[in-house]
Amino acid sequence: MVTRVVEVSRSPFAIVVPVPIESVLVTAGFWRRWLGETLRSALFHQHRMLEESDRINRFRWVSG
């Protein structure tokens, strides 16, 4: 399946309806694979790097 991006921001016929994030499900395909990979590795790696560099303490300090 090929999805094409079409510029419709100026179209009077393009209706964009926001949906709650809880309503969005990625169950298959390209994005499911990469979202799964991010959850498995990238977030943990980023957290570890923030801890090792002590930068995460800046977030803790700002949050109170």
Percent of the chain with pLDDT over 90: 22
Percent of the chain with pLDDT over 70: 98
Rounded to whole angstroms, the Cα distance separating 64 from 50 reads 18
Residue 53 is predicted with a pLDDT of 94
The confidence band for 1, taking pLDDT boundaries of 50, 70 and 90, is low
Residue 42 has pLDDT above 80, yes or no: yes
Boundaries of every domain in the chain: 27-63
Output the furthest CA–CA distance in the chain (Å, rounded).
51
Report the amino acid identity of residue 29: G
The whole-model pTM stands at: 0.42
Rounded to whole angstroms, the Cα distance separating 51 from 58 reads 11
Residue 3 is predicted with a pLDDT of 74
Structure-token pair, residue 47: 């957290």
Residue 33 has pLDDT above 70, yes or no: yes
